[in-house]
Amino acid sequence: MYLNLVEAVDLALARALTEDERVIILGEDVGRNGGVFRATVGLRERFGARRVLDTPLAETLIAGVAVGMSSQGLRPVAEIQFFGFIYAALEHLISHAARLRNRTRGRLSCPLTLRVPFGGGIHAPEHHSESTEAILTHIAGLKVVALSSPRTAYGLLLAAIRDPDPVIVLEPERIYRSFKEDVIDDGQAIALGQCLSWRKGTDLTLISWGAMVQDCLRAADRLAQHQISAEVIDVACLKPLDMTTMIRSVALTGRCVIIQEAVKSGGLGSEIAARLADHAFYALRAPIKIVSPPDVIVPYFRLEQAYLPQIDDIVSVCRQLMETT
């Protein structure tokens, strides 16, 4: 099937509901309306109102009910409409979902999946465009993944739903419908905890996640015109990090640029850079660079594109890095 990312999400959810009667979909408008981004279209009609539940506009309630469901043997897939609304749910995610296995010494687990659209590029107010994933990656007990294409959406979402512990699935809004890929509905998951290599290269390594992966691929095409061979790595699983793949790449290329939609201060890119400096220092031929927005709240409408990293920014930093010996 030739699908865009949001259609691949819907396909994976249908597969999960079909395979496992314990899977329950819940969230604001996910039932009758098919979700604010139409990621759950048709699921209520196919599987019934007892398995695809509309909830009140209350993120704290959604997270709390999902934790309760998961502790009693169900596998809830809850949706928070936008990342900027997740903060009300953090109490349940941090204090309960992430700690339940440890708190009960393994007697209970929390197989909860939380789907969250994130990132900018859709010209919406700031609560609808945030990329503060570093908050979640700091929490022990949570797994965090970021989708970057229709195929990864299908495979990573299935892996998250099947996982015995809580997984946050970040879905980049601006590429929900930007392109399509062939997606095979074969039930094959993409293992959590590993990076995905999208393109091989020898001169430098581009590391990113979410929507920025597609920008990195386009930047790599541009760099090839300047005889610069760039490897593109999709972090995919933000927690736990697959540092082995990233270290091996940087050890080969000697140069690294990390690209993120999140602001630089306290971001995941800084954590990756620190670990690379610790384990691949002697392979580096130039300093590790991070391309990110300025430390400000996402601006509205016309200023949003100036805020987000652009392909030109990535290319410029890479070309400067190649001049460093």
For 148-163, what is each residue's pLDDT tens digit?
999 999 999 999 999 9
3-state secondary structure at position 182: strand
Mean pLDDT over 133-150 rounds to 98
Closest Cα partner for 1 from 153, 135, 141? 153
Residue 44 has pLDDT above 90, yes or no: yes
For the structural domain made of 196-322, what CATH number should be given? 3.40.50.920
In CATH, the architecture of 2-182 is 3-Layer(aba) Sandwich (3.40)
If one compares 123 and 37, the residue with the highest pLDDT of the two is 37
Catalytic residues: 128
DSSP tag of 95: I
Each domain of the chain, given as residue ranges in start order, spans 2-182, 196-322
CB atoms within 10 A of CB 48: 12
Residue 296 has pLDDT above 90, yes or no: yes
Residue 325 has pLDDT above 80, yes or no: no
Q: 291-315 burial, b if ≥16 CB within 10 A, otherwise e?
A: bbbeeeebbeeeebeebbbebebbb
Amino acid 307 reads Y
Task: Supply the pLDDT for residue 76.
Answer: 98
Q: Could you give the CA distance from residue 204 to residue 210 in angstroms, rounded to a whole number?
A: 20
Q: Are 84 and 128 in contact (CB under 8 A)?
A: yes
Mean pLDDT over 132-155 rounds to 97
Are both 2-182 and 196-322 of the same fold? yes
Q: Could you give the CA distance from residue 266 to residue 270 in angstroms, rounded to a whole number?
A: 7
**How far is residue 253 from each of residues 201, 229, 269, 283, measured CA to CA in Å?**
8, 9, 18, 8
Task: Quote the tokens at residue 229.
Answer: 């061979």
**pLDDT per residue as tens digits for the range 258-285:** 999 999 999 999 999 999 999 999 999 9
Residue 91 has pLDDT above 70, yes or no: yes
